[in-house]
Amino acid sequence: MDTEAKKILDKLKAGKYDPVYLLQGEETFYIDLIADYIETHALTESEKGFNQVVVYGKDAAVATILTHARRFPMMAERQVVVVREAQDIPDLNKEPGSKLLLEYLAKPSPTTVLVLCHKHKTLDKRKELGKKAEQLATSASFKKTPDYQLVDFVLEYVKEKKHSINEDAARILAEYVGNDLNRLVNEIDKVLIGREAEGAITATQVMANVGISREYNIFELQRALVHKDWMQAAKISNYFEANPKKNPAIPTVAFLYSFFSKVLAAHGAGDRSPQGLVSALKISPYAAKDYAAAVQRYSKEKALENISLLRQTDLKLKGVNSGNESEGQILKELVFKLMI
């Protein structure tokens, strides 16, 4: 979990609420996570009716939001005002609106918890509001999670849900979904639906639940290439040829291009052990094993040759000198050439 998010959530779970939260940045998952926690736990169910307000930025000017924030709670210790999509507040970046908000931040109501969910970007630090808001409020800016941290995110999230998942399954989820944490969590939740907390989630179960082929997928092709497993690579290539809609050639080539580019970079690393490659390539420890193995089987020159082959294949798939070959035939020929 993001360290800033964890710090805020740990304090909230201890029952300590601050007057203003400014949650901003590209990664919306943590913004929603904190806002949802406050919505759910800051007030009892009986208190929420009179003391909890949720507004959307596009529907409320700064003055309207602050009118809510300055009210006194009714028969409760505090009130909660959550502003979703705060980046859309019409006058947030205009002088009158930003001045009003800064005045409030300098002296917030002690009985209000105001949560500003400013998504996809941060406040402009060239302006006074952007410069001062982070100092006056409990603030956190969330960036997209790097790819090499995604496997750890999956393992931690599943553990928090009182389940376990093996490394291969976590890696497949991370690589298949990417660093859209909201989507990644949704895919994990699909796997967990109706599941008993016995036994670790396997790669097969992940593939069955998130729409990846039960038989073969791009990750298995990569592993066959890593180990130069000719028979497995041929089986996967044949499967891809027979199922082109499930395994389109152009994304497959792009995936392999990224892989061999990292293999080439690994050759330039001072420490080519799995631990050294984690730092050099910014990859997860679970992926590093494959790259360490690939460096042993593919020389620097061969990695360069494969990158060139992948570029040529990409052009061929896009109609340049393609002849009469099908996508499946082009891909099968590519896989063979990558390993020789």
Identify the H or E element spanning 307: helix 300-317
Q: What is the mean pLDDT of residues 253-263?
A: 94
| pLDDT of the residue at 77 | 95
The tokens for 152 are: 């750890």
What are the angstrom distances between the C-alpha of 163 and each of 156, 191, 197, 199, 201?
10, 11, 5, 8, 8
pLDDT of residue 172: 83
Judge contact between 242 and 328, C-beta under 8 A. yes
Residues contacting 79, CB < 8 A, separation 6+: 43, 51, 52, 53, 71, 72, 73, 111, 112, 113
Residue 99 has pLDDT above 70, yes or no: yes
Q: SS3 of 232, please? A: helix
> Looking at domain 147-209, does it have CATH number 2.60.40.420?
no
Positions of E strands within 5-160: 20-25, 52-56, 79-84, 112-119, 138-142
Domain 218-339 has CATH 1.20.272.10: yes
Top-level class of domain 3-142: alpha beta
The model carries a pTM of: 0.71
Residue 116 phi, psi (nearest 5): -105, 115
Query: What's the pLDDT band for 233 if we cut at 50, 70, 90?
Result: very high
The whole-angstrom separation of Cα 187 and Cα 184 is 5
Domain parsing of the chain, residue ranges: 3-142, 147-209, 218-339
Query: In the predicted model, is pLDDT for residue 313 greater than 90?
Result: yes
* Torsion sign across C-alpha atoms 299, 303, 308, 310: positive
pLDDT tens, position by position, 181-228: 999 999 999 889 878 767 899 888 887 777 665 567 888 899 999 999
With beta carbons less than 8 A apart as the criterion, state whether 155 and 165 touch.
Answer: yes
Residue 122, amino acid: T
Cα(225)–Cα(293) distance, integer angstroms: 10
CA distance 7 to 138: 11
